[in-house]
Amino acid sequence: MWGGRFAEGPSAIMREINASIPFDKALWRQDISASKAHVAMLAACDIVSVEDARLIEDGLDRIAGEYETNGVPENWDLEDIHMTTESRLAELIGPAAGRLHTARSRNDQVATDFRLWTRDAIDQVDAGLAALQRALVAQASEHAGSIMPGFTHLQTAQPVTLGHHLMAYYEMIRRDRSRFQDARRRLNENPLGSAALAGTGFPIDREMTTQALGFDTPTRNSLDAVSDRDFALDYLQAAAQCSLHLSRLAEEFIIWASQPFGFVRMPDTLSTGSSIMPQKKNPDAAELVRGHAGRIIGCATSLMVSMKGLPLAYSKDMQDDKPPVFEAAGLLGLSIAAMTGMVADTTFRTDKMRQAAEMGFATATDLADWLVREADIPFREAHHITGAAVKLAESKGVALEKLSLAELKAIDSRIDEGVYPALSVEASVAARASLGGTAPDQVRRQVAAAAQELGIT
Ligand code: ARG
* Ligand 1 centroid to residue 323 C-alpha, Å: 14
Same domain, yes or no, for 282 and 307? yes
What is the Cα–Cα distance from 393 to 399, expressed in whole angstroms? 6
Cα(429) to ligand 1 centroid in Å equals: 59
**Same-domain check for residues 122 and 88:** no
User: What sign does the dihedral 446-451-453-457 (CA atoms) show?
Assistant: negative
Query: What pLDDT does residue 9 have?
Result: 87
Of 296, 324, 348, which residue is a domain's last? 348
What is the CB neighbour count within 10 angstroms for residue 288? Answer: 17
Segments forming the whole domain that contains residue 406:
361-454
* 388 and 368 within one domain: yes
Residue 238 has a pLDDT of 98
The per-residue pLDDT for 7 is 87
Catalytic residues: 153, 274
Say if residue 211 is in the same domain as residue 136.
yes
If you measure from the C-alpha of residue 107 to the centroid of ligand 1, how many angstroms do you get, rounded to a whole number? 6
Atom of ligand 1 nearest to the CA of 114: 4
Last residue of a domain, one of 348, 382, 413: 348
Question: Looking at residue 78, what DSSP letter applies?
Answer: G
Together in a domain, 80 and 131: no
Distance CA 342, CA 327 (A): 23
User: What pLDDT shows up at residue 161?
Assistant: 98
Q: What pLDDT, on a 0 to 100 scale, did the predictor assign at position 275? A: 84
- Which residues does the chain have with pLDDT short of 70? none
Answer yes or no: is 166 within a domain.
yes
Is the domain of 215 the same as that of 285?
yes
Residue from 24, 30, 84, 110 whose mutation best tests the ligand 1 pocket (most atoms within 8 A of CB): 110
Interhelix angle 322-345/230-257, rounded to 10 degrees, is 30
- Give me the residues paired with residue 218 across strands: 190
Structural domains counted in the chain: 3
Contact 402, 393 (CB under 8 A): yes
CATH number of the domain residue 400 falls in: 1.10.40.30
Residue to probe by mutation, ligand 1, list 31, 72, 82, 106, most atoms within 8 Å of CB: 106
The pick from 80, 112, 226, 303 for probing ligand 1's pocket by mutation, whose C-beta has the most ligand atoms within 8 angstroms, reads: 80
What whole-number distance in Å separates Cα of residue 444 and Cα of residue 451? 10
Q: How far apart are CA 118 and CA 269, in angstroms?
A: 31
From 28, 75, 316, 318, the mutation candidate for ligand 1 (largest count of ligand atoms within 8 A of CB) is: 316
Same-domain pairing of 192 and 58 = no
Which protein residue has the closest C-alpha to ligand 1 atom 1?
A: 80
pLDDT in tens, 322-363: 999 999 999 999 999 999 999 999 999 999 999 999 988 989
Residues with CB under 6 A from ligand 1: 20, 24, 80, 106-107, 110, 314, 316, 318-319
Sign of CA dihedral 215, 221, 226, 227: negative
- Cα separation values, 256 from 144, 262, 327, 353, Å: 18, 6, 30, 9
| Distance from the alpha carbon of residue 203 to the mean position of ligand 1, in angstroms | 24
Q: Mark 75-91 as b/e (b = at least 16 C-beta within 10 Å).
A: ebebbbbbbbbbbbbbe
Nearest alpha carbon, ligand 1 atom 11: 316
* Same domain (yes/no): 447, 317: no
The torsion angle over the Cα atoms of residues 25, 26, 27 and 33, rounded to 10 degrees, is: 100
Question: Is the ipTM, as predicted for this complex, more than 0.85?
Answer: yes
- Closest ligand 1 atom, residue 322 Cα: 4
Q: What is the pTM of this model?
A: 0.94
Three-state DSSP class for 70? helix
Query: What was the pLDDT predicted at 277?
Result: 84
Max Cα–Cα distance, the chain, nearest Å: 101
Q: Which atom of ligand 1 is nearest to the CA of 81?
A: 1
> C-alpha angle 239/241/245, rounded to 5°?
110
- Among the listed residues 77, 78, 79, 81, the one whose alpha carbon sits nearest the alpha carbon of residue 34: 81
CA dihedral of 112, 116, 121, 127, whole degrees rounded to 10? 150
**Residue 182 and residue 78 in one domain:** no
Which residue minimizes the CA distance to atom 3 of ligand 1? 319
Report the atom number in ligand 1 closest to the C-alpha of 314.
10
Distance 319 CA to ligand 1 centre (A): 6
CA of 311 to the centre of ligand 1 (A): 16
Look at ligand 1, atom 10, and give the residue with the nearest C-alpha.
107
Q: Are residues 73 and 183 in the same domain?
A: no
Determine the Cα–Cα distance for residues 299 and 323; give it in Å rounded to an integer: 8
Distance set, CA 87 to CA 82, 114, 371, 439 (Å)? 9, 20, 82, 66
CA-nearest residue for atom 12, ligand 1, is 319
* Residue 93 confidence (pLDDT): 98
User: From the CA of 204, how far away is ligand 1's center (Å)?
Assistant: 22
> What pLDDT shows up at residue 457?
76
